[in-house]
Amino acid sequence: MDVFKTHGAFSWNELLTADPERAAAFYGELFGWSFDQQEYDGVGTYRVAKTPDGTAVGGVMAFPPDTPKEVPPHWAGYVTVDSVDDTIAKALELGGSVLVPAMDVPGVGRMAVLRDPTGAAINVIRYEAM
């Protein structure tokens, strides 16, 4: 199964933290991950976590500047969908809400952050062709 193409599959994990350098060092030692660093406008340094065989499994990044101080560091999962916009419509129909509206991430795909009726957040994404 290709998790980057399969609707409903968890496909990426991302850590948001105030100290991404320290977090990357910890997870690198803990799991044997290596990190490729990339710079993105509005995001800064993004560290792509790779398993010892080179498989990219997630990313580590600093909180965006406007993040409220009470938000703790946290991992966020991404679920692949066929259509972000259709998924948003379905989530709203089912009593969910939108935390971050659909947006295009150049070189990655289209994503949004939803909240389920119990209050849990989840990221949805449709990847560009890789």
Q: Do 37 and 53 fall into the same domain? A: yes
Q: Do 7 and 35 fall into the same domain? A: no
65 vs 10, 11, 46, 71, 107, CA distance in Å? 27, 26, 14, 12, 22
Q: Do 78 and 129 fall into the same domain? A: yes
CATH number of the domain bearing residue 122: 3.10.180.10
**Plot region of 118 (φ>0 → left; ψ -120 to 50 → alpha; else → beta):** alpha
Q: Do 130 and 84 fall into the same domain? A: yes
By C-alpha distance, which of 74, 68, 66 is closest to 120? Answer: 74
pTM of the shown model? 0.87
Q: Do 38 and 57 fall into the same domain? A: yes
Q: Do 49 and 90 fall into the same domain? A: no
Q: What is the pLDDT of residues 53-98, one digit of tens each?
A: 999 999 999 998 888 999 999 999 999 999 999 999 999 999 999 9
State phi, psi for 120 to the nearest 5 degrees.
-80, 140
Asked if residue 130 has pLDDT above 90, the reply is no
Calculate mean pLDDT across residues 5-9. 95
Tokens of residue 84, six digits: 């972000």
Report the 10 Å Cβ neighbour count for 7.
11
Q: What is the pLDDT of residues 28-54, one digit of tens each?
A: 999 999 999 999 888 899 999 999 999
Instruction: Answer whether 83's CB lies under 8 Å from 77's CB.
Output: no
Full residue range of the structural domain in which residue 55 is found = 19-62
Length, in residues, of the chain: 130
Q: Do 58 and 107 fall into the same domain? A: no
